Chain A
Amino acid sequence: DQQVKQNSPSLSVQEGRISILNCDYTNSMFDYFLWYKKYPAEGPTFLISISSIKDKNEDGRFTVFLNKSAKHLSLHIVPSQPGDSAVYFCAASATTSGTYKYIFGTGTRLKVLA
Chain B
Amino acid sequence: DTGVSQDPRHKITKRGQNVTFRCDPISEHNRLYWYRQTLGQGPEFLTYFQNEAQLEKSRLLSDRFSAERPKGSFSTLEIQRTEQGDSAMYLCASSPPAQGGEQYFGPGTRLTVT
Contacts and interface: CB of A to CB of B under 8 A. Distances in A.
Contact of A104 (B44, B55, B95, B106): B44
Contacts of B44: 104
Interface residues of A, number: 26
B48 interface: yes
A91 B105 contact: no
Contacts, number: 65
A41 B107 CA distance: 7
Given A89-B42, A101-B48, A104-B42, A43 B106 contact: yes
Contacts of B40: 106-107
Interface string B39-59: 011111100101000011000
A104 B56 contact: no
Contact of A45 (B33, B95, B105): B105
A43 B90 CA distance: 10
Nearest to B43: A104
Given A100-B31, A100-B101, A101-B56, A91 B107 contact: no
Contacts of A102: 33, 45, 103
Contacts of A45: 105
A4 B42 CA distance: 10
A34 B102 contact: yes
A44 B100 contact: no
A49 B43 contact: no
B102 A46 contact: yes
A22 interface: no
Interface in A27-84: 32, 34, 36, 41-46, 49, 51
A99 B101 CA distance: 11
B111 interface: no
A43 B108 contact: yes
B95 A106 contact: no
A43 B107 contact: yes
6 contacts: A32-B101, A43-B106, A89-B43, A99-B55, A101-B45, A104-B42
